[in-house]
Amino acid sequence: MRVATSMIFDAGVAAINKQTASLLHLQQQVATGRRILTPADDPVAAARALEVTQSKDILAQYSTNQDNANSALGLEEAQLTSVNDMFARIKELTVQAGNATLSASDRKSIAFELRGRFDELLGIANAADGQGQYIFSGYMGSTKPFGGNVDAMNAALPPPAPGSEISYAGDDGQRRLQVSATRQIEISDSGNDVFSRIKNGNGYFATDYAKNLAGVGTNTGTGVIDIGNVTDPAAWNALANKPLQIVFTSPDAYDIVDATAAVIGSGTYQSGQPIAIPGGGASVTLTGAPATGDSFTIKPSTSQSVFKTLANLIKTLESDASLPADQAKYSNEIGFALNNFDKANDNILRVRAMIGSRMTELESLDSVNQDLNLQYQQTLSNLQDLDYAKAISDMTRKQTDLEAAQKSFIQTSQLSLFNYL
């Protein structure tokens, strides 16, 4: 085969370019610390590295969501901690208001402070986060959840007259964030669940004294009823024809009447002695001296908001309680308020416990994410990172190959018949 001078030059240049390109590729690998510069370097490893990188990016978003969820729950927890602290002061004032030696002026002074606490509580219930989203409005973050005031509640006729309750404009939803591939965590709680859906009475039934349609007590004696006690919840729940009434046929005798006006029990009254509800697995205790015709109701527990409880207490403190019968009604209302505040406080503690459980779960998920992130980094390192010892050894070899190609080209290119003529 005839070898032309141009072929020698072309082949030599091609060989030098090939060696130079190979050396440049090695130099770029060393400079970047990456074994794979393009998918062509290792198609299988490049595809796997892309999958791992995507998983790592998704994990980073989950970590961001966990931080956001933790911040939202921390803000809600701070608001509810303030509510619990407020309840401690409200209960202290309520106990103080139960002192029989207080004057009407003293009671109104307590009511004045409770009005401030009412506004403070309403402000917490309408609290917003740093982005202007209301914490306790459910899914409707841009809607102010609670509206109304204590005067509108106390001026209204008995429920369900308009204005008799603080209105709730939110919904029952709980906003959620995706914090892992399989977990969406609640980062808010409905204002209804926190402030409104609170069982009154003892949780099974609520006691009360007789009232007319305007909500004014009609008893003329000094009887005071407690919240009652349930010893057999199944029996109480199965009891038919509720609600019940305890009607005094004389100062020392009573009948227990069901919703059909049938007398289901009777007895002799002794102050401080429990009155058993026939077949109901429950009892109530009255103190004082009821008058003939006085009555007390025993109704299944319903939901009563903490705002309603506080408004009722303020109304009681601002009312006249100069007569013995009025004083008995006053004592009843103080007892009801103390019990309902305890129930409201327990409900807030329940919500806080759920928040704490979610925050603990977020801590566990964060720990799992850190372990996963480390695993992804190790996998990417195994797929992409350069073996420097091998790369530097290859560079040295490639440099030798390039130098050999250059020197051999020089010697070959100088061969010519003209040198022998």
Residue 252 counted as domain residue: yes
pLDDT for residue 157 is more than 60: no
| Domain of 50, in residue numbers | 34-200+303-385
Q: Quick one: tokens of 198?
A: 């609170």
| Radius of gyration of the chain from its Cα atoms, rounded to whole angstroms | 41
In contact, 243 and 297? CB cutoff 8 Å: yes
pLDDT for residue 22 is more than 50: yes
Cis previous bond, 278, omega within 30 = no
Classify 209 as helix, strand or coil.
strand
The better pLDDT of the pair 110, 406 is held by: 110
Closest CA to 318 of 162, 102, 101: 102
pLDDT for residue 23 is more than 70: no
Residue 246, judged by CB atoms within 10 A of its CB (0-12, 13-18, 19+), counts as: buried
Q: Quick one: tokens of 380?
A: 């990417």
pLDDT for residue 169 is more than 70: yes
**Which residues lie closer than 8 Å to 349 by C-beta, 6 or more apart?**
84
Q: What is the pLDDT of residue 378?
A: 86
Identify the residue whose tokens are 């005031």.
Answer: 149
Average pLDDT value for residue range 303-325: 89
pLDDT for residue 392 is more than 80: no
Identify the residue whose tokens are 């595809």.
Answer: 47
Q: Quick one: tokens of 255?
A: 């009948």
Q: Quick one: tokens of 371?
A: 């372990």
Lowest mean pLDDT among 68-82, 141-155, 244-258, 385-399: 385-399
Q: How do residues 76-103 score in pLDDT, each as one tens digit?
A: 999 999 999 999 999 999 999 998 888 8
CA distances from 271 to 3, 41, 288 (A): 129, 94, 6
Identify the residue whose tokens are 């141009």.
Answer: 6
Q: What is the pLDDT of residue 21?
A: 66
Report residue 395's pLDDT band, with 50, 70 and 90 as the boundaries.
Answer: low
As a dihedral over the C-alpha atoms of residue 19, residue 24, residue 30, residue 36, rounded to 10 degrees, the angle is -90
Residue 310 counted as domain residue: yes
Q: What percent of the chain has pLDDT over 90?
A: 60
Does 122 lie in the same domain as 43? yes
Residue 66 counted as domain residue: yes
The number of folded domains in the chain is 2
Does 220 lie in the same domain as 196? no
If one counts every other C-beta atom within 10 angstroms of the C-beta of residue 49, the result is: 20
Report residue 112's pLDDT band, with 50, 70 and 90 as the boundaries.
Answer: very high
Q: Maximum distance among all alpha carbons in the chain?
A: 152
Mean model confidence pLDDT for the chain: 85
As a dihedral over the C-alpha atoms of residue 41, residue 44, residue 46, residue 52, rounded to 10 degrees, the angle is -160
Does 61 lie in the same domain as 183? yes
Residue 227 counted as domain residue: yes
Please provide the distance, in angstroms rounded to a whole number, between the alpha carbons at the two ends of the chain: 24
Q: What is the pLDDT of residue 398?
A: 66
CA distances from 115 to 93, 108, 212, 331 (A): 12, 10, 26, 20
Q: What is the pLDDT of residue 283?
A: 95
Length in residues, the chain: 421
Does 313 lie in the same domain as 173? yes
If one counts every other C-beta atom within 10 angstroms of the C-beta of residue 60, the result is: 13
Does 236 lie in the same domain as 121? no
Does 254 lie in the same domain as 336? no
Q: What is the pLDDT of residue 215?
A: 77
pLDDT for residue 160 is more than 50: no
Does 163 lie in the same domain as 85? yes
Does 266 lie in the same domain as 368? no
Q: What is the pLDDT of residue 159?
A: 46
Average pLDDT value for residue range 237-263: 94
The residue among 237, 272, 301 that closes a domain is 301
DSSP code per residue over 229-295: EES-HHHHHH--S--EEEEEEETTEEEEE-TTS-EEEEEE--TT-EEEETTTTEEEEEES-PPTT-E
Q: What is the pLDDT of residue 387?
A: 63
Average pLDDT value for residue range 63-73: 94
pLDDT for residue 264 is more than 90: yes
Q: What is the pLDDT of residue 12?
A: 62
Q: How do residues 198-231 score in pLDDT, each as one tens digit?
A: 999 999 999 999 988 777 888 999 999 999 999 9
Classify 142 as helix, strand or coil.
coil
Q: What is the CATH number of the domain that holds 308?
A: 1.20.1330.10
Residue 130 counted as domain residue: yes
Residue 361 counted as domain residue: yes
Residue 394 counted as domain residue: no
Report residue 329's pLDDT band, with 50, 70 and 90 as the boundaries.
Answer: very high
Residue 116 counted as domain residue: yes
Report residue 163's pLDDT band, with 50, 70 and 90 as the boundaries.
Answer: very low
The better pLDDT of the pair 406, 142 is held by: 142
Does 273 lie in the same domain as 129? no
Does 220 lie in the same domain as 102? no
Does 140 lie in the same domain as 38? yes
Closest CA to 355 of 200, 197, 136, 181: 136
Q: In angstroms, rounded to a whole number, what is the distance separating the alpha carbons of residues 255 and 253?
A: 7
CA distances from 176 to 53, 72, 143 (A): 26, 10, 17
Identify the residue whose tokens are 């250059």.
Answer: 406
In contact, 263 and 242? CB cutoff 8 Å: no
Does 281 lie in the same domain as 242? yes
